[in-house]
Structure 1
């Protein structure tokens, strides 16, 4: 029963932090260290990635019409634009896919720890504040996904690649990159949602294969529970974020990241002194 409660908490954390630019992996590492479920480290590493499937299904459900190039409700032009959008998503996914396949295990071994997470939380928190202050009186160049150029897609893809370091935040990195090159907040957030689909499905598939698909009944049940919870919470988080950015900027998330990162560093220092 205790592990069920812990998995529900982790599912809630994933659902909220996957879409808000505050690092879902970072929060799952930190919360997991506090909760310490009675499960193997290998399972928990896989669990933290695979419950993203629940989160990504929230995007598919909420944006199904916009994502579906076969919708009978769309004109031929709208269907063509949908295919073009998917091509843009795939182009922007290439950098992270290549680096992830080659170096994911290496990056996890080095950075999958509280202190590196804290540093990346602070770095990108500062970036959010700096970029938003710079853009305060600047009109965005791009207000529609159809206006994204190949050069912009590559730039966004590079920032998504940087998010392979835990604590960076995939949504946070891609949104910062998009804002820096003049993309509106709404387009930056929405394209980040769509960009997550191939990336997160791919990452989850690799983790499942790496784990060996050899689950006990308990592990399978907890994994499904985590996905279901993250799906439900993600629906609420996505709706909240898209409503929030209509009238606000991303600086509040920058401040939150800085404060959280500082708390983690202070806690690590105190722990070292006590030890």
Structure 2
């Protein structure tokens, strides 16, 4: 396989791993990075979704103790059963809406212009949410994922569906949405990570199955490289983020989103960068 193509796969894997769990949209960054690298055909779109699985393996590794304890206690412990049920409840809206609207969204919204716009809008929403919480506008009701109700899980799951629009950020939607719904920053972040496990694995498997006609055995090195680099960068990023949120807000990410979105729009408008449509 072409070495240049493998290098592109490695770059895309790093982009995926570093952005999947930050509130800055991995899909948006992959669309923009793919546009710059000329890695944006139909096969590349399948690749972008498939390598999310590498990032999810990183989350499983970081949270392995909680996952293992839940699986062991699942047959007999109500708390473990409630937690597992909440993850399932939060996952279902994405399944239903993804099957209904996923194809149309990919055909019409996976463009740099849409990504840049949602970057900016999402940044202002994060600033508003952080300002609201700092002013005491949202009372924290839930301090741990084990204290979440089924209704809490359903609401976060519905908010997660906003991330079907590229550039929105799945983690950003679930974390900020969870905070606005009364979850602590830690509980919202933890639940966002746990919810990512079935959501992204499901999306990856479904995409590979649906687009299997585009793929060949010779593509395996490409996907393996993307998965490995996605896993390593995501593992480093998740560990860093869990420490970061204990003493910081998401305001910095909001400003990053706004500035980056403006840069994309300006460079596209002036013709300095030719973003793929």
How high is the TM-score relative to the length of structure 1? Answer: 0.92
What is the CA distance between 1:213 and its match in structure 2? 5.8
How does 1:70-89 map onto structure 2 within 5 Å? 70-71=71-72, 79-89=77-87
1:94 aligned to which of 92, 95, 113: 92
Corresponding position: 1:56 with 2:60: no
What is the CA distance between 1:80 and its match in structure 2? 3.5
Does structure 2 conserve the Cα–Cα contact (< 8 Å) formed by 1:67 and 1:82?
A: no
The alignment yields a C-alpha RMSD, in angstroms, of 2.0
Bigger mean CA deviation after superposition, 210-219 or 56-65: 210-219
Q: Deviations over 1:152-193 (max 9, x none)?
A: 222211110111111011001111111111211111111000
What is the CA distance between 1:19 and its match in structure 2? 0.7
* Structure 2 residue matching 1:249: 3-state secondary structure: coil
Corresponding position: 1:123 with 2:125: no
Aligned residues: 269
1:5 aligned to which of 1, 4, 7: 7
Match of 2:145 in 1: 145
Residues 210 and 273 (structure 1), Cα distance of their counterparts in 2 relative to 1, 3 Å cut: closer
How does 1:190-229 map onto structure 2 within 5 Å? 190-212=190-212, 215-229=215-229
Does structure 1 conserve the Cα–Cα contact (< 8 Å) formed by 2:23 and 2:170?
A: yes
What is the CA distance between 1:215 and its match in structure 2? 3.0
Does structure 2 conserve the Cα–Cα contact (< 8 Å) formed by 1:142 and 1:148?
A: yes
* Structure 2 residue matching 1:163: 3-state secondary structure: helix
Q: Deviations over 1:6-38 (max 9, x none)?
A: 11111000000001110000000000110114x
Residues 83 and 263 (structure 1), Cα distance of their counterparts in 2 relative to 1, 3 Å cut: same
How does 1:119-198 map onto structure 2 within 5 Å? 119-138=117-136, 140-198=140-198
Match of 2:38 in 1: 36
Does structure 2 conserve the Cα–Cα contact (< 8 Å) formed by 1:10 and 1:32?
A: yes
Bigger mean CA deviation after superposition, 6-15 or 133-142: 133-142
* Structure 2 residue matching 1:22: 3-state secondary structure: coil
Does structure 2 conserve the Cα–Cα contact (< 8 Å) formed by 1:66 and 1:82?
A: no
Bigger mean CA deviation after superposition, 82-91 or 112-121: 82-91
> 1-side partners of 2:219 and 2:71: how far apart?
37
What is the CA distance between 1:216 and its match in structure 2? 3.0
What is the CA distance between 1:273 and its match in structure 2? 11
Does structure 1 conserve the Cα–Cα contact (< 8 Å) formed by 2:120 and 2:262?
A: yes
> 2-side partners of 1:260 and 1:223: how far apart?
28
Does structure 1 conserve the Cα–Cα contact (< 8 Å) formed by 2:141 and 2:184?
A: yes
* Structure 2 residue matching 1:20: 3-state secondary structure: coil
How does 1:9-24 map onto structure 2 within 5 Å? 9-24=11-26
Which structure 2 residue ranges, 5 or more long, are not aligned?
Answer: none
How high is the TM-score relative to the length of structure 2? Answer: 0.92
Bigger mean CA deviation after superposition, 136-145 or 221-230: 136-145
